[in-house]
A and B are shown apart, each in its own frame.
Chain A
Amino acid sequence: MKRRMFLKGAAAAGAAVGIGFDMSRARAEMRQFKIARTTETRSICPYCAVACGVIIHTLGDKAKNVRPTVVHVEGDPDAPTNRGTLCPKGATLKYDIDNPNRILTPKVRRPGSDHWEEISWDEAVQGIARHIKSTRDRTFVAKNAKGQTVNRTPGLAVVGGCTDTNEFNFLQWKFISALGVAYRDSQARV
């Protein structure tokens, strides 16, 4: 049954039992669009490389530290490639943004352990930085076996970036360069 038919049926049923007040004014009042008061943000679908334009509709009073609610995501009719259309994945982007499975806190799994422990960002960042420094200092190769200056850190590997922005990729490359990482790759290869 279509939703509209269901509503019609419900109204008819209501009328049949006689609910005792006049519904006509309520019916005559135009329903507010859900997206009438939303903020529209132009974005790009994060899945495949068609890169469809999308519009993210959010509601919120824009107060500091108040996260708005995503009420709707739709195709951007101006985007030349998708012209407002989306595939099933793009059409459900609201549920990727507003997803109960998102991870929300930094965690660590200690050596030999069988569980996660929550840690603060500060602990996580300091712990990772210490690992990076000790690995780099321990494995750094200033000259290769032929005596050529190579300045690389074989103990570190960095991968990723294909679902991230160009700008993140560039920052990641700077980070990689700063550490002398040679083992680096991304989904661009695989």
Chain B
Amino acid sequence: MTNGWVDIKNADVILVMGGNPAENHPCGFKWTVEAKRTRNAKLVVVDPRFTRTASVADVYAPIRPGTDIAFLNGLIRYALQTGRYHEEYVRIHTSGPYIVGDKYAFEDGLFSGFDPAQAEYDKSAWAYRADPKTKAYQVDPTMKHPRCTLQLLKKHVERYTPEMVERICGTPKDQFLKVAEVVTSTGNAQRVGTITYALGWTQHSVGVQMIRAAATLQLLLGNVGRPGGGVNAMRGHSNIQGSTDLAGVFDNLTGYLATPRGELTDLKTYLKAETPTTLNGAPWPTMNYWSNYPKFMVSLLKELYGDAATKENDWGYQWLAKVDGNYSWLYIYDDMYRGSSQRAGGTEPGPEGLLTFGFNPVGVGPNTSKIINALSKLKFLVVGDNYQIETATFWKAPKEYGGPDSSQIKTEVFQLPCSGFAETDGSFTNSARWLQWKWKALDPPGQAKTDQEVLARIFLAVRDLYRKEGGALPEQVLNVSWNYTDPVNPDLGEVLKEINGKAVTDLKDKDGKVIKRAGQQLDGFSQLQDDGSTSCGCWIHSGVYTEAGNNAARRGTQDPTGLGMHPDWAFSWPANRRILYNRASADAQGRPWDPTRPGIAWNGKLWVGDVPDILPNSPPGQYGAFIMNPEGVGRLFTPSLNDGPFAEHYEATEAAIENPLHPKVTSSPVTVRFHSNKDVYGTRDQFPVVCTTYRLTEMYHYWTHHTNELNQLQPGFFIEIPEELAREKGITNGSRARVTSARGSIEGVAMVTRRLRQLTIDGKRVWHIGFPLHWGYEGDPKHVGPLANFLTPSAMDPNTWTPEFKTFLVRLEKAS
């Protein structure tokens, strides 16, 4: 989230798309209700289903799953055509005035730079126009230049008329216009709107572009950086934000530093490739905060390798594993299944051993059958969990999932009992980027151990083997620092201190005065150095554990601004800032757009209010608001994404219709399909029904079907079917129905409903259905159910490589 849960109470308009907070984030949704109650805010819900969020909306519009970009581009068009956008904000805080180079074009569904052989774009075709001599970028403050990003955007969305939105999304034109009017009512200084979304946006082959379109709309309306505004991801797990921040995905080290690639053979080359240079010619210079990249990286290496990291050995950079190509979720199982992968022009083995902690790949999917068959090829599997999850018993999965017989599976499987949340201390980072400390209430039951102890024991045992026996590059194993008071069961407070960072040698200011003695905790990331004098496990979290103590454990409930920032509660990264890009909450002179809801304000000497994004004493006009971008402004045009600088509507990988905008390019031209015999994709003639999946309030992922009290509330799997479709198929409420995709087939109780309706898409009748995803073959035998992801495809977004769980094609029939 750019903002936070409580901040939603400051909004005048709340647009919910790709999420259902009333049911899936109930205690966060209260702040939407609060905004409605105290500010007369309007709640707008756009969703395939008439959810319980929709039931309290002021405006609800139905939409076909996966078509949100068409809807959002329709809103952008409406804002630009009617002038209902915040022009002054766009001029000073966005790339609206930036002029784009001559190579950029968009034609027949393809952006310029497309290479059909590789199915990739050459992104250099989308560069800004630069002066050949000075390299300065050109801007037109009047934003009238036909090649400025605002005018190009206007041209790009011209096609998304209300009629086209209706044709693609199935949203009746009058309902779309109602949404457009309410949402664009915030396109000015006086009003603010927020957008909240969840996995209904991220889990598409065009997921990133959906969020990109939302961000573009919010920038046009001047809603980013302001209390009550922002683009707010309602994340799905207690610490999914923390895991993302702390190198949870293969392409990131901690703090969004990039995992080094094979061609970046030494630290100097790596830092040169990853540190962005400040772009010239911006109306306001930018802080370009990523120019500090070397300080973050060297401090991280110093933390990881401790004394073994020296200037002479590039701080241990050589020991970091380098990647060549993609190692993300779907590739793990594809390479595991096939037993090899192509890397840098050579063949390498695929995974032969898998360790998983608090994670259930068989449930998570997609394409369960492929995952089960991939796991069957492993030499060993380690599952650390609280419950016996489906992954731990994949070798005895029901036959319908298509795995080999148990006797044929040579995998050695270890099931390790780990700790629940109450059985260990430590911090979780919520959607609002707050690191909140929790305290331990009791020990794990039976022989169960805390996850950190299990991990530490395995690590120390491996390290001992390398000490005794040597092996492949032992330095990589032996040089990782593990200096905990109890190495077998590391104290998590000590680990959080490492994450924060400390002075390795005395740290001096410009005048030679010692500001930190060696060994002292740092105050924040501004103290980091690239000479080995500081160590830091995750630069964005620096400030969480200072000499003052554990700031994640702070419990001050004060709210001095009344805006719900709660600066003394826990610690919000970065730098305890509660609203990101908060410089954009004020005008060119530093006056808040709305004095009743100030983010920060310039008092003549300092920025006051929230912790400012920019230097606290830098006068208005010195720095742009978007400090992480080399341009210093918010991007209306994004030359860095893999699938285009503007969001464009493409159908899902399994497309329900031909794309009405460009039939020759129906689905995104840069999405990847896999080619194993387990990767089959359905077509609309065989599988005419659009299907999506979702969560229920009473259930949590693949976890709570082990809790009997929740099984009583939601006893089992069901399929939600529109009334008219059910009638056509002879399916009655409570009877059994069967849903089949190209990959699998599942059966369940039919819930015949009016929450989903027939849609008219491009003149044709299209049905959509859905089902919740919480069940599996483990747990109480009375409450087992099919794995929803048996049906979902191995398709994914080309930027995040997040699978397309939320739109796929199926066939529906009455079960006998």
Contacts and interface: CB of A to CB of B under 8 A. Distances in A.
Interface string B500-517: 000000000000000000
B480 A170 contact: no
B364 interface: yes
A131 to B, nearest CB: 4
Interface in A154-190: 154-190
B302 to A, nearest CB: 13
A182 B321 CA distance: 7
Interface stretch (B175-183, B343-351, B761-769): B343-351
What range describes how many residues of A lie at the interface? 35 or more
A103 B386 contact: yes
A165 B351 contact: no
B27 A82 contact: yes
B411 A111 contact: yes
B252 to A, nearest CB: 9
A180 B249 contact: no
Given A51-B431, A152-B321, A96 B446 contact: no
A24 interface: no
B452 A167 contact: yes
Interface stretch (A14-22, A27-35, A112-120): A112-120
A107 to B, nearest CB: 5
A111 B332 contact: no
Given A152-B323, A178-B476, A183 B335 contact: yes
B441 A56 contact: yes
A1 interface: no
Contacts of B410: 111-112
Of listed B5, B249, B355, B436, residue having the most chain A CB within 10 A:
B355
B379 A41 contact: no
B704 interface: yes
Contacts of B24: 48
B466 to A, nearest CB: 7
A50 interface: yes
A180 to B, nearest CB: 4
Interface in A38-84: 39, 41-53, 56, 58, 60, 67-68, 70, 75, 78-83
Given A174-B304, A175-B455, A156 B426 contact: no
A89 B461 CA distance: 38
A190 B802 contact: yes
Contacts of B265: 148-149
Given A46-B420, A150-B324, A171 B455 contact: yes
B617 interface: no
A149 B564 CA distance: 50
Contacts of B447: 104-106, 121
A97 B382 contact: no
Nearest to A124: B414
B354 A129 contact: no
B589 interface: no
Nearest to A45: B238
A183 B250 contact: yes
A23 interface: no
Interface in B393-429: 395-396, 406-417, 420-429
Given A70-B422, A103-B387, A185 B249 contact: yes
A128 interface: yes
Nearest to B238: A46
Nearest to A136: B472
Interface string B217-246: 000000000000000001111111111111
B615 interface: no
Contact of B704 (A58, A89, A137): A89
B707 A95 contact: yes
Contact of B249 (A88, A112, A186): A186
B351 A154 contact: yes
B557 interface: yes
A64 B683 CA distance: 63
Interface string B1-35: 00011100000000000000000111110100000
A20 B329 CA distance: 72
A146 interface: yes
B166 interface: no
Contact of A151 (B436, B473, B498): B473
A109 B710 contact: no
Contacts of B723: none
A12 interface: no
A102 B417 contact: yes
A127 B414 contact: yes
A132 B332 CA distance: 17
Interface string B528-541: 00000000011001
B555 interface: yes
Contacts of B246: 161, 166, 169-170, 173
A71 B55 CA distance: 36
A129 to B, nearest CB: 4
Most buried by A among B304, B348, B379, B410: B348
Contacts of A165: 239, 242, 424-428, 452, 492
B336 interface: yes
Interface string B442-480: 110111110110011111011111100101110011001
Interface stretch (B94-102, B631-639, B692-700): B692-700
Given A89-B698, A154-B349, 17 more contacts: A75-B27, A81-B6, A108-B414, A125-B458, A128-B414, A144-B344, A150-B324, A151-B318, A155-B351, A159-B361, A161-B358, A162-B359, A163-B237, A164-B426, A166-B246, A170-B498, A185-B248
**Which 10 A-B pairs rank lowest in CB-CB distance, beginning with the nearest?**
A145-B346, A104-B446, A165-B426, A51-B430, A160-B359, A129-B461, A46-B421, A140-B472, A49-B235, A186-B248
21 contacts: A46-B238, A49-B241, A80-B557, A85-B30, A103-B417, A103-B446, A104-B417, A104-B448, A106-B447, A109-B415, A112-B410, A130-B465, A133-B465, A139-B352, A149-B318, A157-B353, A163-B358, A171-B490, A173-B253, A175-B459, A182-B321
Interface of A: 39, 41-53, 56, 58, 60, 67-68, 70, 75, 78-83, 85-90, 92-93, 95-97, 99-114, 116, 121, 124-133, 135-137, 139-142, 144-146, 148-190
